[in-house]
Amino acid sequence: MIWHSFYDQHGERVQEAAGRTLEEAKRHRSQRLHEVADGTFARGLRTGGSGVAAYAKTWIALRREEGVRTVDREEQILRDHILPHLGSKRLDDVRPRDVAAWIRKVSPTLAPKSVINAHGVLSAMFARARFDELVVDNPAKGLPRGILPKNVRSRRVGAWTRDEVAMLISHPGIPEDRRVAYAVSAFTGARCGEVAGLRWRDLDTKARPLWRWHLEKQYDGQPLKGRGAQGGPPRDIPIHIELERVLEAWRTDGWARFMRRHAQPADFVCPRENGKVHSKQSLGAKAVHRHAVVAGLSSEGRDFHSFRRALITIARTDGAVVDVLERITHNSAGEQIDGYTYFGWETLCAAISCVRLAPATIAPVIPVAPARGRSEPPHPVTVAVTRSSEPPDSPRNPGALSLEAPGVEPGSESAPWWLLRVYPAFCIAIRLARRAGSPYRYRPFIFALLPSRVERASQFGDASTRALTGSSLRRLSVQLIRPRERRCYRSHLQIPGCF
């Protein structure tokens, strides 16, 4: 460190740090001479006299104008971790020892990675202040070894297996909008923000041999991940044939039921319930772990980014060319010759088409909410549905029930007089609705709850059976199991744990 010694207007000797190199010391001396010449130094109006908190607002505004995609995160770090400790200081009064003391103060309450990120924000702000000639040196740069904590990853993030991906994109216990989001990431290798920012207008359904996704932005118009404020370049991503089927079914039916209106070109493909864009926390944080539990999978070491890892792993295993796959999933930054290499659209489609991945065929289930006071997640169950030879309103078939499709108001089709109620105690009860002239009163009947992993219809006896799902309910006759018949039914079907 080079020190600059001089006498102020009161004749007192003053020492200031002039920088670490001779060039910085000369620039510091020139700055002080300029302040003495125009009188700003004597009046206490030195160039670096603005406070850290005041300059932080200016710096954040500049970052927003530059279109930096992490500006909101940087503003939050400044507000929560930096300004409470250094905000009252002047820019030119902050010394490396002050930065070191700040790091030691916040380290007990923050993870090592968070401390490193906060230090990076502080260093970037002082680097801009140095460019604006508000400070001579960046006090956050060049700290001695050992001041910053080591960035030790607490866990390794792995990839979902082929069967696990198939389960997560098809399990009926997972909300349909999340299954679509997982399928988009699993078939394209897109990141969480890229999936959240996908709009219907970004899909070219007329492209052949596969649909084209022209990826330009992530989240709500933010630049793609890459170097610099402008982010990475756009990418053209082929849509796997299986993903085409998923998106077509979601666009024509599922999206309208989810949002209660038809999709427009500017709408997000996987929006939140209010129609706005998902965040990383709402789409890819704890939701993936919850849905993995519903599907009976272990989520240890896996998250939303694991779908991206799964696509790359499966594609390379199935024979995709690595260089071509890189153009689909990454912003290619390999050898110099890569900048002169062009892969046509058919070549990109061939790399995706070789992926052998399809939704799993599993028994449909109905998720039932837990009872009050229970902290366990809802367990998926299925309900045995039998076809009866007698109509639902026949007196000879008092144990039959006619159900309506989800979202259809009871009474809107053929005036059905049966109502379905879902109770929180892991049971589904049917209550017979009373009508004029009917001898039946309101009497509850209890369905048999079957495990979600029922594989053979022969377990249900000789009767023709079907599973009751939330997407295919159409006036089915459901045979009720009365409480006094539980023992007989259990013995006949040999299904453990039903009652």
Per-residue pLDDT at 31 exceeds 50: yes
What lies within 8 Å, CB to CB, of 64 at 6+ separation is 71
9 and 104 in a single domain? The answer is no
Domain annotation covers residue 106: yes
Domain annotation covers residue 365: no
- 8 A C-beta contact, residue 451 and residue 457: no
Over range 175-189, report the average pLDDT.
Answer: 94
346 and 252 in a single domain? The answer is yes
Kindly report the length of the chain: 499
Ranking 53-62, 195-204, 487-496 by mean pLDDT, the lowest is 487-496
322 and 283 in a single domain? The answer is yes
Domain annotation covers residue 73: yes
Q: Is residue 94 classed as helix, strand or coil in its secondary structure?
A: coil
Q: Which amino acid is at 236?
A: D
Domain annotation covers residue 19: yes
258 and 223 in a single domain? The answer is yes
What lies within 8 Å, CB to CB, of 197 at 6+ separation is 217, 218, 219, 220, 221, 222, 268, 277
Per-residue pLDDT at 491 exceeds 50: no
User: CA 402 to CA 390: how far, in whole Å?
Assistant: 12
User: CA 310 to CA 161: how far, in whole Å?
Assistant: 7
- 8 A C-beta contact, residue 299 and residue 293: yes
Domain annotation covers residue 20: yes
182 and 75 in a single domain? The answer is no
**Better-predicted residue by pLDDT, 434 or 329:** 329
26 and 71 in a single domain? The answer is no
Domain containing 94 — which CATH number? 1.10.150
Kindly report the average pLDDT of the chain as a whole number.
71
Domain annotation covers residue 420: no
Per-residue pLDDT at 426 exceeds 50: no
pLDDT > 70: percent of the chain:
63
**The pLDDT value given to residue 192:** 92
Number of H helices, E strands in the chain: 17, 14
**The pLDDT value given to residue 339:** 62
Confidence of residue 39 (pLDDT cuts 50, 70, 90): low
Domain annotation covers residue 97: yes
127 and 191 in a single domain? The answer is no
Ranking 181-185, 246-250, 371-375 by mean pLDDT, the lowest is 371-375
How many domains does the chain contain in total? 3
**Better-predicted residue by pLDDT, 214 or 233:** 214
Q: Given 84, 114, 132, which residue is the final one in a domain?
A: 132
Q: Given 354, 385, 418, which residue is the final one in a domain?
A: 354
Per-residue pLDDT at 484 exceeds 70: no
Q: Which amino acid is at 449?
A: L
Confidence of residue 268 (pLDDT cuts 50, 70, 90): very high
User: CA 92 to CA 94: how far, in whole Å?
Assistant: 6
339 and 195 in a single domain? The answer is yes
Ranking 188-192, 218-222, 374-378 by mean pLDDT, the lowest is 374-378
Q: Given 354, 370, 399, which residue is the final one in a domain?
A: 354
Q: Is residue 73 classed as helix, strand or coil in its secondary structure?
A: helix
330 and 241 in a single domain? The answer is yes
Q: Which domain holds residue 66?
A: 52-132
187 and 299 in a single domain? The answer is yes
Over range 55-81, report the average pLDDT.
Answer: 90
Q: At what angle do helices 112-131 and 96-106 cross, to 10 degrees?
A: 150
- pTM comes to 0.57
123 and 208 in a single domain? The answer is no
Confidence of residue 406 (pLDDT cuts 50, 70, 90): very low
Domain annotation covers residue 7: yes
241 and 327 in a single domain? The answer is yes
**The pLDDT value given to residue 195:** 94
Ranking 19-33, 70-84, 201-215 by mean pLDDT, the lowest is 19-33
Q: Is residue 141 classed as helix, strand or coil in its secondary structure?
A: coil
